[in-house]
Amino acid sequence: MSNKPVAIITGASRGIGKAVAKELAALGFYIVINYFDFRDGKPDDSAALQTEKEIKGCKILRGDVSRAEDRNKLIEFTKQNFGRCDMLVNNAGVAPAKRVDILEASEESFDRVMNINLKGPYFLTQLVANWMIEQKKQFADRNFRIVNTASMSSYTSSPARGEYCLSKAGVSMMTMLYADRLAEFNIGVFEIRPGIIMTDMTSVVKEKYDKLISDGITPTKRWGLPEDIAKAIGAIAEGRLDFSTGQVINVDGGFHFRRL
Ligand code: NAP
């Protein structure tokens, strides 16, 4: 069994997840990276292999978080390699393949986005939470924490990507549910709400967001960076928010507050 704490991070071959993996590795965690790169309909491990090179001692495993079989494999893989899991970061997520008005949007896109963004983390958390409860019985002095990546879309309407907003609103409720259920075991559950963060996901709408930011949609007039999210999750990993289970941490340059 590993003598260092272990974190599972989903969707961590690139973007926000990769920055979180680097941050937690720097804080002394061994990292298990889940990823599901498909480029032009074919599996492509290049980003994950590159990330593996950059983070000493990390292990990578391809898997689709929306599939039960792949979630089970991720847990078995972590057990075999490290024998423990101290932290889970549910980060993997997708935008709709195409933005379509809710008056026209398809069930197919709804199912895809909800399965990856909500069903996947909901049931992965169930697996990890049960394993953490077992570990807690044996190692009472260890700290266990779970972080869910929601979004400003949890509470902001974008009618051209309704399924994304619904999935993230679901992640917000999921955080409260697990924070409530796991409090008796002293397992902290937290929600990160990123604002507009510069990654592949937002690269397709870069010009639109450049303008919104320069026009003042966020009080802090800059793009968020994956490292901004990673620092906030780092603070959770260090135990600085342990009495704040269920807390929502907005990492959005002030987007969330009302202004007059
Ligand atoms: P990204 O650059 O597109 O990365 C998304 C990650 O999710 C990738 O590592 C991707 O892995 C992984 N992923 C996608 N489908 C998956 C699946 N079925 N199984 C496992 N992994 C899967 O996006 P990002 O901006 O870093 O987003 C990370 C999280 O932050 C998401 O939950 C997103 O909704 C949330 N968020 C982002 C922003 C933003 O402005 N960027 C704002 C609010 C919330 P592969 O590449 O390996 O497929």
Atom of ligand 1 at shortest range from CA of 38? 48
Residues with catalytic function: 164
In terms of pLDDT, which residue wins out, 110 or 40? 110
Judged against a pLDDT cut of 80, whether residue 39 lies above it is answered with: no
- Both tokens of residue 11? 């969707």
Where do the domains of the chain lie, and which CATH numbers do they carry? 6-251 (3.40.50.720)
Q: How far, in Å, is the centroid of ligand 1 from the Cα of 130?
A: 25
pLDDT tens digits for 45-67?
A: 999 999 999 999 899 999 999 99
- Both tokens of residue 61? 């495993």
Looking at residue 119, the DSSP 8-state letter turns out to be I
Atom of ligand 1 at shortest range from CA of 115? 18
Q: How confident is the model at residue 41 (pLDDT cuts 50, 70, 90)?
A: confident
Q: Please state, as a whole number, how many other Cβ atoms lie within 10 Å of the Cβ of residue 150.
A: 27
pLDDT mean across residues, the chain: 97
Judged against a pLDDT cut of 80, whether residue 20 lies above it is answered with: yes
Q: How far, in Å, is the centroid of ligand 1 from the Cα of 14?
A: 8
Q: How far, in Å, is the centroid of ligand 1 from the Cα of 141?
A: 33
At 105 the pLDDT is 98
At 173 the pLDDT is 98
Q: Please state, as a whole number, how many other Cβ atoms lie within 10 Å of the Cβ of residue 252.
A: 22
Judged against a pLDDT cut of 90, whether residue 40 lies above it is answered with: no
pLDDT tens digits for 196-226?
A: 999 999 999 999 999 999 999 999 999 999 9
- Both tokens of residue 208? 């639109």
Judged against a pLDDT cut of 90, whether residue 85 lies above it is answered with: yes
CA 116 – CA 95 distance, rounded (Å)? 10
What is the four-CA torsion angle of 88, 112, 206, 149, rounded to 10 degrees?
-20
- In the sheet that holds 87-90, the strands lie side by side as 59-62, 30-35, 6-9, 87-90, 144-149, 187-194, 248-251
Nearest to 165, CA basis, from 174, 180, 155, 175: 155
pLDDT tens digits for 134-179?
A: 999 999 999 999 999 999 999 999 999 999 999 999 999 999 999 9
Helix (H) or strand (E) holding 70, with range, is helix 68-82
Find the residues whose C-beta lies inside 6 A of ligand 1: 10-11, 13-17, 34-37, 64-66, 91-94, 116, 149, 151, 194, 196-197, 199-202
Judged against a pLDDT cut of 80, whether residue 101 lies above it is answered with: yes
- Total residues belonging to the chain: 260
At 57 the pLDDT is 86
